[in-house]
Chains A and B, each alone.
Chain A
Amino acid sequence: MTEIVMSQTPPILHGPSEKERKYDRQLRLWAASGQAALESANILLVNSGAGTVGAETLKNLVLPGIGRFAIYDEAQVEEADLGVNFFLDDSCLGKSRSQSLRDLITELNPDVQGTWYPNEGVKTLESLLADSPVFTAIIYTHPIRLDQLSQLKAYGQQHKTPLVAVHSAGFYSYFQINLPGAFPIVDTHPDETATTDLRLLTPWPELVAFAEGLTKDIGGLDNFEHGHLPYVVILLHYLEQWKAAHDGKYPTTYKEKTEFRKVVQDAARTGNPEGGEENFDEAAAAVLKTLVPPSLPSGLKEVFEYEHSDPVEQRSGFWLIADAVKQFYEKHQCLPLPGKLPDMKAQSKVYIQLQGIYKAKARKDAAEILQMVQAAPGGERVDPAEVDLFCKNAAFVKLINATGGGGSSSSSKISRADRLKSAAALEFANDETAAFTLAPLSLLPIYLALQATAHAVDKPLNADGILAVVAEQAPGAEQNERVVQAAQEVARAAGGELHNVSALTGGMVAQELIKIVTKQYIPIDNTCVYDGIVARCQVLRL
């Protein structure tokens, strides 16, 4: 029977598709959901200057398979481009750089569509932005013309499109992510060991009953049963005893916890052939880590406290679920249970029962939240799978750029210019004391020097010119010795890119863009400055 079916089905149909095989190594990082998000992304690169860092970033997005891209680049390919840009060769000389780049970069991945501008039909950036389907994200490289930058900014605001500015010159580079508003991430991929949540100090009735059932005659258990009590059950049992002896209070201080740990250790049987019990060792080892009262993690607190200024944003799935979780938290004083039980020494049957109790509670909590979501206006459209994901990750949900976008809290009113000034004051003050605190020196001088040349489209600025711009943006900073040095180094590069630094920067920019497009992992907030001379990075919020 199988044999007959076999001959009708060529083996080629079996197993994962060609595409899944091609992307196998990355699917293991961001799964099919992340890949689907990438494949529906439409990315615009506005390329200028030496143009390498833009091309390298795009290459790193095309390889993992974004849906499509557009390049806007007004330059013609020159001899110097060939020495620094891998995606241009002799045959490109004198041609449109955007066309040449499009041709060679699309060769990297036939699944990706690319277009180039300006061309016969679309002659300016303005008309490209007006006529194209909405872009998922826009990358632009410095130096960029001021008028084009304002067009991009207006577009970003209007379409809620993230903008990424990238600047690479000589050994220095930075990139800055400009998100259109508060950017929540549910699937943050926390460290697996951090996600254990056993609720030992707030057990629910089913869990209590189960633990009591196994331990009511703990002294009478035979060695096998006693040596196979799951550590969760052991801890619950001795916590009850502790409470009875301590006015109904749990051990909370470090001292009490270590005392409690001693109680657990001493309860292990040592007269058995093994001379000890592994499950009791596990229980003692878990005391400090798992006996924690429920609390609200700072990331989620920020979500709960976020005030919307945009009613459209407020009705999105994420915020509807967040509101429900907040209600849930206010009602129960704890978050929905993630429901995962770590591996532990136990009889298989008992472990599976215990696992079932945790899973059932997690399902119940998620169902309650789903109900709250559905009761809210617009909640009926929310995908229950999204609710499940939120409940599983609730403790690790993260809000990026909470104050940079539509939020109405007072801090959001600070303009970007003021933020730079206060960041400069803070960073330089830190550097003053660096000799004592041994803190790394700030890379802000590099940012200031590069940023000063952000619009030097026609000819490179000299050091004095750079410092003059710095003086406008962060008055006083132009006096700083390290800013002066950075300005000299930037002037020396004269707008030239080092392929290698641009390649590295392109890797970092693409990495962060993938996080933003897939809404997985936590992207940086919001500026990353790179110093290739000492091989060091600093992330600043500017």
Chain B
Amino acid sequence: MEPAAMHGSTGFTAPIVPVAPIAPVAPVIAPSLTRDSYNAQTLGRSLNARVKQSRVLMVGAGGIGCELLKNLVLTGFGEVHVVDLDTIDLSNLNRQFLFRQEHIRKSKALVAKEVAEKFNPAVKIVAYHANIKDSEFSIEWFSGFTIVFNALDNLEARRHVNKMCLAADVPLIESGTTGFNGQVQVIKKGVTACYDCTPKETPKTFPVCTIRSTPSQPIHCIVWGKSYLLNEIFGTSEDQSAFDHSADAENAKEIEELKRESEALRKIRQSVGSPDFHQMLFDKVFNTDIVRLRSMEDMWKTRKPPEPLDYKALLEKALDAMAAKDAVLKNDQKVWSLEENLVVLKDSLDRLSKRALATKNAANGSSQDAIITFDKDDDDTLDFVAASANIRSTIFGIDRKSKFDIKQMAGNIIPAIATTNAIVAGLCVLEAFKVLRGEYDKTKEVFLTPFAPARLLASDKCRQPNPDCPVCGVFQARAYVDLSRATLNDLVEDYLKLQLGYGEKEISVSNEVGILYDPDETDNLGKKLSELGIKPDSFLTITDEDDENPYVNVVVAIQEAKEPLEDKPIKGASTEVKIPTKPKKTPAPEANGGHGSRQQSEAIAEVVPAKRPHPEGPDDVAAAKKAKTAASSVGQDDDIVVLDDSAGGGAIIIDDD
């Protein structure tokens, strides 16, 4: 960037001319200052007008969302739509400043609107207490916005909005925070890298056998308590999402045994509330099952075998702890002894049993079991998971953890504070100014570098799109379809072969479920698209199977035809399309490498050809890397199983709301 372009009034208001048409005398603004004076003065008339005409979407009204909504309202954005499906929780109030005690359990989106709109009557705020993945939020609907802001806390929703914005070709400003770390990224189709241009780590899962038979870390026992034991006794049976079944085949025999164990455990469920319930459960999971495991000698050749526990003996030793029960329960920072864990387990079992029985009675004899699911903020379930995980840890010779730590590990809690959110939300709006002016060459990917001594922020030029990106590296097309009659054959023959020009190429058509059509899979051709589960805003991926000069993958967004179609039930865009061919494989796709060293390689790519002052020099990049290490070590410190929360790697960053 030319230094001249960064300074003076030229940054945002006037053309880049050294003798800018600014008076060296300050404009006289007093005495008749209006609400808009400061904005008009600093943004300049043209940008200020653009801001006022903008219609923007903010997805998420949590930590970043509250700050961002305030900034958008006071910057004067004309119309702001807010979508959030969450409700307000007590633990939000330390940073989500639009919410108060009396708002707990109300919709975040609706309360945010109500509170924020008082502060600028000129701004129109539209709130939706809904899931952004709902069908009402179509590509068409996304197309109606000037800019979309992501202020989300989860990978799935981020990916969805990324995909919708690419399909609708609307610029997206993506942001995230975790603890002191944070990041902002501008995503514009075909111009900058999209959210999925670098692979993201998915939530960690564990092999079934690690959880059920051979735990070696506290987290294994916590997952056991939360996803297995709690669910079998009070919930809806094993939470499969926590388990990785890929190695099941190798351990077929053990898996069989484990299934039998689970069935026996489910029988104990019938005894919830009976006087023997505590002992039955304890004997089963902390004695019988352990004795069986111990008998599998092969398993313990290189591991310390587990030591089964005796309920009666332990109970006797726990008399003192029992007497001090209230003090034990309140002390969530201390690592409880084995005896104290038994006390907590028994007490939480009583509380959960009561709830289960009460729900059952309320259901008036209908045989349906009451269902209690884990919630980190529900102390009954948290106590149960903490105590059972710690008892299991003791059996396997693993360190026990305090309830406070277990809450973080079981609940995937990410630290979150007001200050970081304030900084990140501020950065989002500054990037939005550049987007509004169409200055994508000036947009930045900004990282907070709280542990870098020389700066608190580091910025990097926006990355180029990754040509191999499965989401934006594809050619995007829209098909307008009469879903009442269009068949897969219509799509393949009329639309793909003729309109998109695949001709006689070998192609396959798939959706998120799997392959719908390829040259060997023709059974579906006669079916209507609607029978194949295809709806408006469904995406189909078309892969060119030819070896020579294949087309890039094409993603077709299915749209309901606006006007009745005459003969053919499928119609493409009226303009002629030309699908590019896949780039030849080159040996060094380093700059977009998916191994986490992106910034380093970017630095090389960026710095080498530059022969001019570089405002975001190598230092910034190094600092950003440091931030990344710091961010990932947040996870390591406490053994949290979180999604990769590194601020630097372009990976998902989570603000927990």
Contacts and interface: CB of A to CB of B under 8 A. Distances in A.
A115 B95 CA distance: 22
Given A499-B74, A537-B457, A63 B97 contact: yes
Interface stretch (B165-173, B366-374, B427-435, B586-594): B427-435
Interface string B93-135: 1110100110000000000000000111000000000000000
A372 B325 CA distance: 41
A406 interface: no
B451 to A, nearest CB: 8
Contact of A508 (B29, B329, B417, B456): B456
B551 interface: no
A503 B383 contact: no
B53 interface: no
A438 B95 contact: no
Given A192-B636, A489-B7, A498-B39, A532 B430 contact: yes
Given A29-B179, A533-B11, A440 B620 contact: yes
Contacts of A535: 427, 430-431, 444, 446, 457, 459
Interface stretch (B469-477, B526-534, B607-615): B607-615
Interface string A64-91: 1100000000000011101111100100
Contacts of B27: 492, 494
A409 interface: no
Nearest to A1: B322
A227 B301 CA distance: 12
A534 B41 contact: no
Interface residues of B, number: 118
B416 interface: yes
A528 B408 CA distance: 33
B38 A14 contact: no
B183 to A, nearest CB: 12
Given A25-B413, A28-B413, A482 B418 contact: no
B24 A537 contact: no
Contacts of B346: 2
Contacts of A435: 611-613
Given A23-B94, A86-B70, A499-B74, A539 B453 contact: yes
A100 interface: no
A473 B435 CA distance: 38
Interface in B525-549: none
A375 B348 CA distance: 50
A221 interface: no
A392 interface: no
Contacts of A464: 24
A493 to B, nearest CB: 5
A254 interface: no
Interface string A263-277: 000000000000000
Given A83-B39, A435-B613, A489-B8, A503 B94 contact: no
Contacts of B615: 440-441, 534, 536
Contact of B382 (A15, A170, A482, A498): A15
A83 B322 contact: no
A491 B332 contact: no
Interface string B433-457: 0000000001010100011011111
Given A441-B613, A494-B27, A28 B420 contact: no
A461 interface: yes
- In this complex, the interface size class of chain A, counting residues with CB under 8 Å from chain B, is 35 or more
B3 interface: yes
A533 B446 CA distance: 13
Nearest to B275: A3
A38 B346 CA distance: 37
Contacts of B418: 59-60, 63-64, 507, 510
Contacts of B417: 25-26, 29, 64
Given A26-B415, A83-B74, A508-B456, A438 B610 contact: yes
A64 B94 contact: yes
A16 B97 contact: no
Nearest to B120: A83
B383 A21 contact: no
Given A108-B97, A349-B304, A536-B615, A25 B70 contact: no
A338 to B, nearest CB: 15
A227 B303 CA distance: 12
Interface in B241-278: 278
B22 A193 contact: no
Which one of B43, B379, B451, B455 has the highest number of Cβ atoms from chain A below 10 Å of its Cβ? Answer: B455
Contact of B35 (A80, A193, A504): A80
Contacts of B382: 15
B422 A510 contact: yes
Contact of A504 (B3, B426, B630): B426
Nearest to B613: A434
Nearest to B429: A500
A22 B91 contact: yes
A531 B422 CA distance: 16
Given A488-B22, A536-B615, A507 B180 contact: no
Contacts of A441: 3, 613, 615
B347 A498 contact: no
Contacts of A228: 302
Given A108-B97, A171-B42, A500-B430, A485 B34 contact: no
A464 B23 CA distance: 11
A50 interface: yes
A25 B74 contact: no
A448 to B, nearest CB: 13
B329 A14 contact: yes
Contact of B304 (A21, A64, A347, A505): A347
A431 B120 CA distance: 43
B90 A22 contact: yes
B601 interface: no
Contact of B330 (A15, A83, A496, A499): A15
A504 B74 contact: no
Interface stretch (A4-12, A39-47, A152-160, A237-245): A4-12
Contact of B456 (A485, A486, A501, A539): A539
B78 interface: no
Nearest to A17: B330
A445 B3 CA distance: 13
A500 B11 contact: no
B524 interface: no
Given A15-B382, A60-B419, A488-B22, A524 B7 contact: no
Nearest to B14: A492
30 contacts: A1-B322, A2-B346, A2-B347, A6-B351, A11-B379, A13-B330, A15-B379, A20-B332, A26-B415, A29-B417, A56-B422, A63-B93, A63-B94, A63-B418, A64-B418, A79-B34, A83-B37, A84-B74, A224-B302, A435-B612, A462-B26, A463-B25, A496-B29, A506-B422, A507-B422, A533-B6, A534-B6, A534-B442, A536-B459, A538-B454
**Among all A-B residue pairs, the 8 with the closest Cβ atoms:** A504-B426, A507-B422, A80-B33, A83-B35, A533-B11, A485-B7, A496-B38, A507-B423
Interface of B: 1, 3-4, 6-9, 11-12, 20, 22, 24-27, 29-30, 33-39, 41-43, 67, 70-71, 73-76, 90-91, 93-95, 97, 100-101, 118-120, 179-180, 278, 301-302, 304, 322, 325-326, 329-330, 332-333, 346-347, 350-351, 377, 379-380, 382-383, 397, 403-404, 407-408, 413-423, 425-427, 429-431, 442, 444, 446, 450-451, 453-457, 459, 607, 610-620, 629-630, 633, 636-637, 656
Given A65-B94, A107-B100, 6 more contacts: A26-B94, A83-B74, A463-B25, A498-B42, A501-B430, A510-B418
